[in-house]
């Protein structure tokens, strides 16, 4: 490498170490790009599922993967005494709860858990906000999502009466003594019950993977720049340093 007034004589170990780092960073960037492609394909699948007609939820046991992200309809009766308040849910920066109530599916002993929407905690967290009681048979439409709902757990106690900080469906089913479908339905119906149902659009997050890929490629470029800066020296600089 010829630069006027400079010389480039890197040590072998610096060349090897820099090469290894550049290769690793590039491989990580390529992996993130492949992840982005996978997520784009998944997003296309989700968009396709959203266009499909609503399906009636069966009364027999189902598999989560067969219904995930599908829009479904269920008919039955709410069990308000089994309602839980899923804590640490925010809406437009305001703290609140997601209200989860099971429905006994019509003509069946099977139940399904409905996320009915968000409500604020109010000024006093010791007093839970009241939820309108819905009697009789209802018909609910919504999107099937993963039943496990987690937030930051500040202690090992995830259940405090009707307030839960994390939803584990198996644990809920055991405590409530219900036979549940292995899904959670985010309700879409426009019901005048004071609950807010502005669900976040499903997104597989390919843009995040692209951002990570750019970051890894940037590290590779930065490694090359640092290697060059540390190993390109002005002529006579070694004599000066040794004198």
Residues 96 and 148 in one domain: yes
What's the pLDDT score for residue 142?
Answer: 94
What's the pLDDT score for residue 35?
Answer: 85
8-state DSSP, 109: S
Residues 139 and 99 in one domain: yes
8-state DSSP, 66: H
Residues 160 and 118 in one domain: yes
How far, rounded to the nearest angstrom, does the alpha carbon of residue 155 sit from its chain's CA centroid?
21
pTM confidence score:
0.68
Residues 88 and 22 in one domain: no
Instruction: Give residue 40's domain range.
Output: 11-45+205-232
Residues 37 and 113 in one domain: no
Instruction: Identify the three-state secondary structure at position 12.
Output: helix
Helix (H) or strand (E) holding 26: helix 12-51
Residues 227 and 135 in one domain: no
Within a domain: 200: no
Provide the pairing of β-strand 232-234 with 111-120. unpaired
Within a domain: 239: no
What count of Cα atoms within 13 Å lies in the side-chain half-sphere of residue 42? 14
Task: Give the residues of the chain that fall short of pLDDT 50.
Answer: 154-155, 239-243
15: left (phi over 0), alpha (psi -120 to 50) or beta: alpha
Residues 134 and 166 in one domain: yes
Residues 93 and 170 in one domain: yes
What's the pLDDT score for residue 156?
Answer: 54
What's the pLDDT score for residue 243?
Answer: 46
Residues 152 and 209 in one domain: no
Residues 108 and 21 in one domain: no
Residues 220 and 150 in one domain: no
Q: How far apart are CA 204 and CA 202, in angstroms?
A: 7
């Amino acid at each position: 490498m010829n630069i006027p007034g400079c010389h480039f004589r890197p040590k072998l170990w610096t060349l090897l170490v820099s090469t290894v780092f550049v290769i690793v960073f590039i491989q990580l960037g390529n992996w993130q790009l492949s992840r982005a492609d996978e997520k784009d394909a998944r997003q296309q699948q989700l968009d396709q599922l959203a266009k499909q007609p609503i399906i009636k939820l069966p009364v027999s046991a189902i598999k989560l993967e067969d219904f995930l992200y599908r829009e479904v309809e269920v008919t039955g009766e709410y069990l308000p005494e089994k309602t839980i308040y899923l804590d640490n849910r925010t809406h437009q920066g305001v703290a609140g709860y997601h209200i989860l109530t099971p429905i006994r599916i019509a003509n069946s002993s099977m139940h399904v858990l409905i996320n009915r929407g968000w409500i604020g905690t109010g000024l006093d967290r010791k007093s839970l906000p009241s939820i309108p009681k819905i009697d009789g048979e209802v018909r609910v439409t919504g999107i099937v999502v993963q039943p496990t709902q987690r937030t930051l757990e500040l202690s090992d106690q995830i259940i405090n009466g009707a307030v839960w900080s994390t939803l584990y469906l198996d644990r809920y089913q055991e405590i409530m003594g219900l036979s549940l479908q292995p899904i959670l339905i985010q309700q879409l119906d426009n019901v005048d019950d004071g609950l807010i149902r502005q669900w976040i659009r499903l997104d597989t997050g390919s843009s995040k993977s692209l951002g990570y890929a750019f970051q890894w490629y940037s590290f590779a470029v930065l490694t090359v720049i640092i290697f060059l800066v540390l190993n390109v020296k002005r002529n006579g600089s070694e004599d000066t340093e040794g004198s």
